[in-house]
Copies of this chain bind each other. A is one copy, B any other.
């Protein structure tokens, strides 16, 4: 926004595991975009790992400390010292906050620094931000969460393939969705820590990890999953936090969800949280719950928020043109006289226009016969050209109808 080079904003990084190394890689890549928004250019001022780096030196040379080392001993000491030194802190450490959150949040208020922790719960799914900012002042009634991607992957695999718990766990480990020692995940302890943090924010009352009873998933059988499917139920490891009169119930346990529940369709290593409150009815947030780059994205979002408190809409940086012909997949409905060669002629027109058929259903007979096709993505001009040619055929008895189809081509 100013013609001068933006001033640096020094970020000290504690931890260089999956998340730490992703932060170290992604932050410099985003530095220009962040400088555009904040007027400050973030840079990594130092990295502390088990074998290298000096905390005091990093602290002295940083405006903000990112703690992604995990554990509750050293992490607690370092976060405390950073806050006492007047530095903002961004952490992804759920155990630290579930055990020592009140103490650290109080310290941050006292020293007037920010202690942000979006990445501690549900990775890049912005549930902390929503609870702290969007819903301030609105009483939450209940919160359900799938907050552990490892167990969600295992349970959806068991349901999809009939694999046993042990087999699904082994697959999760192979794919990097479960750690070599999966105890914290499969016992529900990891989810319990996250639910303690969410309940604390949602109900504005202290919640410690020890207040959250939890059950794991190791005892679950494929048989139960299959029976339950007949009842339209799907199995998930669910964290629940709800107010019951003047008391709170916060728990983690396996639970069946009816098909209509917004969490029932959350598959694989994804996380999702549903927040119910009279004022908002219910909102659901879902997305990848873990992964280095995803969690790092949440960390960097927090860094940016700490850099520039008043959110403004900065001027645009791009001036992109607008595409006028895009590729789409289409559904096409054609009413035809049911005589030999009709499908072949339709297919030929489509083929000549470069339109490739994905599936076709033929229904009815006589003059009221119908062809219903879904075609693979193709430039819309080409597709509509083919439709015009088809419409002109003598066997077509009514104007064809075309509707776009959005493919399930993405990562979820």
Which segment of A164-172, A176-184, A304-312 sits at the interface? A304-312
Taking the closest CB of chain B, its distance from the CB of A92, in whole angstroms, is: 14
Chain A residues 259 to 318 lying within 8 A of chain B, measured CB to CB, are 259-263, 265, 267, 276, 278-288, 291, 293-294, 296-298, 300-301, 304-305, 309-318
Once the chains bind, are B206 and A319 in contact (CB under 8 Å)? yes
Expressed in whole angstroms, the Cα–Cα distance for A277 and B291 within the complex equals 14
Q: In the complex, which residues of chain B have a beta carbon less than 8 angstroms from the beta carbon of A135?
A: 297, 301
Is A129 in contact with chain B by the CB < 8 A criterion? yes
Which segment of A185-193, A227-235, A383-391 sits at the interface? A227-235
Q: Given B116, B261, B316, which contacts A200 in the complex, CB threshold below 8 Å?
A: B316
Once the chains bind, are B250 and A322 in contact (CB under 8 Å)? yes
Q: Given B249, B287, B300, B363, which contacts A322 in the complex, CB threshold below 8 Å?
A: B249
Expressed in whole angstroms, the Cα–Cα distance for A1 and B293 within the complex equals 37
Q: Given B34, B130, B403, B410, which contacts A224 in the complex, CB threshold below 8 Å?
A: B403
Once the chains bind, are A133 and B304 in contact (CB under 8 Å)? yes
Q: Given B109, B126, B138, B233, which contacts A129 in the complex, CB threshold below 8 Å?
A: B126
Binding site of A, secondary structure by majority: helix, strand, loop or mixed?
Answer: mixed
Is A7 in contact with chain B by the CB < 8 A criterion? no
Q: In the complex, which residues of chain B have a beta carbon less than 8 angstroms from the beta carbon of A309?
A: 309-311
Residue in A30, A235, A283 whose Cβ sees the most chain B Cβ within 10 Å: A283
Once the chains bind, are A311 and B116 in contact (CB under 8 Å)? yes
Once the chains bind, are B406 and A144 in contact (CB under 8 Å)? yes
Chain A interface (Cβ < 8 Å from any Cβ of B):
1, 26, 30, 33-34, 37, 101-102, 105-106, 108-109, 114-116, 118, 124-126, 129-130, 132-138, 144, 200-201, 203-206, 211, 220-221, 223-224, 227-228, 230-231, 233, 235, 238, 240, 242-244, 246-251, 253-263, 265, 267, 276, 278-288, 291, 293-294, 296-298, 300-301, 304-305, 309-323, 326, 331, 333, 359, 361, 363, 370, 372, 374, 401, 403-408, 410-412
6 pairs, CB–CB < 8 Å, chain A vs chain B: A34-B137, A134-B297, A254-B404, A256-B331, A257-B408, A282-B412
